[in-house]
A = this chain, B = another copy of it.
Amino acid sequence: MNDREMSCNTGGQFMDRGRMNQNGVVQPLLTDLYQITMAYAYWKSDKTDDQAVFDLFFRNNPFHGEFTIFAGLEECLKFLDSFHYSQSDIEYLRQTLPEGIENEFFEYLGNLTAHDVTLYAIDEGTVAFPRVPIIKLEGPLIIVQLLETTLLTLVNYASLMATNAARYRMVAGKHVKLLEFGLRRAQGPDGGLSASKYSYTGGFDGTSNVLAGKLFNIPVKGTHAHAYITSFSSVGELKTRLLKHKQTGIMEDLLEHAIRHRQMLSHVLDVSTEESSEGELAAMVSYAIAFPDGFMALVDTYDVKRSGLLNFSAVALALNDLGYHALGIRIDSGDLAYLSCLAREAFEKVADRFKVPWFNKLTIVASNDINEDTILSLNEQGHKIDCFGIGTHLVTCQRQPALGCVYKLVEINGQARIKLSQDVEKVTMPGNKNAYRLYSADGHALIDLLQKDSELPPAVGQKVLCRHPFQESKRAYVIPSHVESLYKVYWKAGKICQQLPTLEQVREKVQISLKTLRNDHKRTLNPTPYKVAVSDNLYNFIHDLWLQNAPIGELS
């Protein structure tokens, strides 16, 4: 592409306007330019009101897995609801599109809404599979086309993140807490917010991201950084040592209690007080004074074994003298399996010697560069970690940083369209389709079935011929014990037509939906592919259409 005509710079007079509208909803200009140039060409060709059907789907599950969690639907619906080009948008487009664009087109754009679009979707939080459209849109060609990029942007990362989070949840098990700590490594401010939101959807228990907490009502968590510890170098720097006894209300010297316990602890834990850091002790005392009921301390600033555990236990016992129970520790470096076992052992010794049984239950948080494989390896080695704080690998989805959702035209004015490709995997499923999930008697999902929308749904207890979309010999009869129709109308005639679930409800839906999947589809190593099939009717339809469209060159 060259600079002639197809681009043009404005004088920057649009800089620094908001990225979202007042309600935090994405603006319609957050799209690829080609949607707008196509819109003009449709308009010029008098095709704006051709009735189009587009499918939004992905071709492969991420992370070498065999499932994907669908997320982002609510944001898509809000986007449709607010779809409108502002006067400033129109002005920008006027300056940016090639000269010669007719004025009426800009007027047309200025009045365009998503009122005439119908959006069908699978419920947000449901497991979804390759080639089964997760969203289906019907409506005038111009507007359905204009929605493409933004819908993809809203679904791709949301679903990738929710899926990643759900995978971490599976390997960590139900009883371990998972916290998202990735803000600083995310793709800028909003990347961080999406990461926090959709990792919660996928099964995390909270985030460190305060703004995400505020905007999405997600639990926020956090203690302190190494800098807090290193900001103290001796107990002499403590400007206050006093803390009120929780029951008696009498002020006591917390440091004095801590120093006394530290002396005894050094024998119990077999560590010299000389070796441990006095700055760390001072920092922990000051932190405990600020959060006597929420004392959670980072113990690896100097040395977990020789300093951190001793100082933490001393301060926790001091707090105990004053009627408070500490929460636990965080370890942010080193051999997490070994150090967590060491810590648990130390806590058990202290519980025993100092008659403080709750010390056994102190929380151990680990948070250093953790990914799915680290958790699997820690599980194998054996560890005593109660909670993982996960950042970089979670939010960047390191193993596969993008979900490849695409958006394909499958029907126009009642005529099916097929996109052929030398790569069979890339051939699209033509026409307006419905999708069903067939279940076995024990409640497990057996297969997803795509049919032409004119076909009757599969019936419970009756055999259904399920075919591989491209391989003629791969077919089987399935007798479903339960049939779920996957699509609901979510948007029609300018209105959201379903009661939208809360974030909490979507989060529950994820776990419920995952339970319907057999374990072999969910395992980390070599999971069994879940089957997606087409009806016999759709199979024949695809292959007839393919033949009609195939160039002679196909034979070679």
Contact B291 A19 (CB under 8 A): no
| A290 and B4 in contact, given A217-B12, A302-B420 (Cβ under 8 angstroms) | no
Nearest residue, chain B, Cβ from A398: B401
Measured between beta carbons, the chain B residues less than 8 angstroms from A26 are: 189
**10 A-B pairs with least C-beta separation:** A190-B190, A187-B191, A34-B222, A33-B222, A396-B401, A187-B187, A191-B191, A188-B194, A152-B184, A41-B290
Measured between beta carbons, the chain B residues less than 8 angstroms from A24 are: 16-19
Contact A239 B419 (CB under 8 A): no
Q: Which of A40, A220, A238, A289 has the most CB of B within 10 A?
A: A220
Contact B188 A303 (CB under 8 A): no
A sample of 18 inter-chain contacts (CB < 8 A) reads A1-B363, A1-B365, A16-B24, A27-B211, A33-B222, A34-B222, A34-B225, A37-B290, A37-B291, A38-B225, A41-B291, A141-B231, A188-B193, A190-B191, A227-B409, A230-B412, A334-B422, A395-B402
Known pairs A2-B387, A392-B404; list 15 more (Cβ under 8 Å).
A1-B296, A15-B217, A16-B24, A16-B215, A20-B20, A30-B193, A33-B210, A37-B290, A92-B210, A148-B184, A152-B184, A185-B404, A233-B415, A302-B551, A307-B551
Contact B179 A187 (CB under 8 A): no
Contact B23 A20 (CB under 8 A): no
Q: With an 8 A cutoff between CB atoms, is A174 at the interface?
A: no
Nearest residue, chain B, Cβ from A26: B189
Partner of A231, one of B11, B213, B237, B409: B409
Mark each residue of chain A from 208 to 247: 1 if its CB lies under 8 Å from any CB of chain B, else 0. Answer: 1111011111011111111110110100011110000000
Nearest residue, chain B, Cβ from A18: B24
Partner of A215, one of B14, B36, B98, B306: B14
Partner of A211, one of B19, B302, B420: B19
Contact A208 B408 (CB under 8 A): no
Q: With an 8 A cutoff between CB atoms, is A130 at the interface?
A: no
Nearest residue, chain B, Cβ from A293: B5
Measured between beta carbons, the chain B residues less than 8 angstroms from A213 are: 33, 92, 96
Contact B327 A153 (CB under 8 A): no
Partner of A221, one of B1, B334, B387: B1
Contact A189 B402 (CB under 8 A): no
Cα distance A42–B282 when bound, in Å?
12
Cα distance A365–B290 when bound, in Å?
61
Measured between beta carbons, the chain B residues less than 8 angstroms from A191 are: 157, 186-188, 190-191, 194
Cα distance A314–B475 when bound, in Å?
45
Measured between beta carbons, the chain B residues less than 8 angstroms from A19 are: 19-20, 24, 189-190, 193, 211, 215
Partner of A41, one of B224, B230, B415: B224
Partner of A419, one of B32, B230, B293: B230
Measured between beta carbons, the chain B residues less than 8 angstroms from A551 are: 275-277, 302-303, 306-307
A residues 100-127 in Cβ contact with B at 8 Å = 100
Surface stretch bound by B, among A43-51, A345-353, A448-456, A457-465:
A43-51
